[in-house]
Amino acid sequence: MLFGLFLSIMAGFVAGCAPSGTHDPAAKFSRVYVEPPASADPLAEAAHDAFVRALKQAGWNPMPSPEEAELRITLSFQVVGSEQSLVMTWDDPAGRRRNLRTGRLGRSFFWTASLAADEARLLASRLGPPPGDLGKGD
């Protein structure tokens, strides 16, 4: 079931990636810094760790400090109205900011570390491979 959901989300994402005059700011960068959780929160730590691992697996280069990175990413759990989601926010050196969020879950939904990690991997997959890895096969 999760695989089917993943495929449908990826199909929607790929369909929205037609060439145009405006490009995704993240497409220019491969060195990223993922802001670690501000406090010892098991959900935030699970999301952060899974997100960084997924980026590495996709060919991105997570950096140990923001000064070494071209793109800075922050993960946060947000509640808007009656929905909650995991949100990825990135800022590039030009000051552009963009948010991507996972599927919105009802307010009464209970987060687990496993679900936080799954949602983080989903967000990382939406970035796709870094530009230098496009077209390379295994």
pLDDT, tens only, 74-113: 999 888 777 788 889 987 767 778 888 776 666 666 788 9
Band of pLDDT at residue 134, cut at 50, 70 and 90: very low
The whole-number pLDDT of residue 16 equals 38
Band of pLDDT at residue 28, cut at 50, 70 and 90: low
- How many angstroms separate the CA atoms of 73 and 98, rounded? 10
Our CA angle for 130, 135, 138, nearest 5°, is 95
pLDDT, tens only, 32-71: 999 999 888 899 999 999 999 999 999 999 999 988 888 8
Contact assessment for residue 80 and residue 99, using Cβ atoms and an 8 Å cutoff: no
pLDDT, tens only, 15-24: 333 333 334 5
The whole-number pLDDT of residue 138 equals 41
The whole-number pLDDT of residue 105 equals 66
Q: Which domains does the chain have, with CATH numbers?
A: 26-128 (3.30.160.150)
